[in-house]
Amino acid sequence: MAHHKSAFKRIRQTSTRTERNQAGRSRVKHAVRNFREAVASNEDNLASSLNNTISTISKAASKGIIPAKRASRKISRLTKLLNAAQA
């Protein structure tokens, strides 16, 4: 257990950031899953659904929750999926 004031603060900061990052990663996973389900069920407005998903992924990347290259890869693959579904 920590004994210094700074160590207690570091523990608080770490737990807060861990919760925030976990929520952000979960948000990205749900957005991707919902988009894939929408594509699979041939729903309307897939383009707007993709835009919402891209927005969620980009926000997570800009806040450092996920790496920028992972975000780019996810966006690319989802766009490719949409184009294949529309063809």
Using the predicted structure, report yes or no on whether residue 2 has a pLDDT greater than 90. Answer: no
Domains of the chain with CATH codes? 5-86 (1.20.58.110)
CA 32 to each of CA 5, 22, 72: distance values in angstroms, whole numbers, following the listed order: 41, 15, 13
Q: What is the pLDDT of residues 49-67, one digit of tens each?
A: 999 999 999 999 999 999 9
Give the burial string for 29-50 (b: 16+ CB within 10 Å, else e): eebbeebeebbeeeeeebeebb
Residue 32 pLDDT: 98
Query: What pTM did the predictor assign?
Result: 0.90
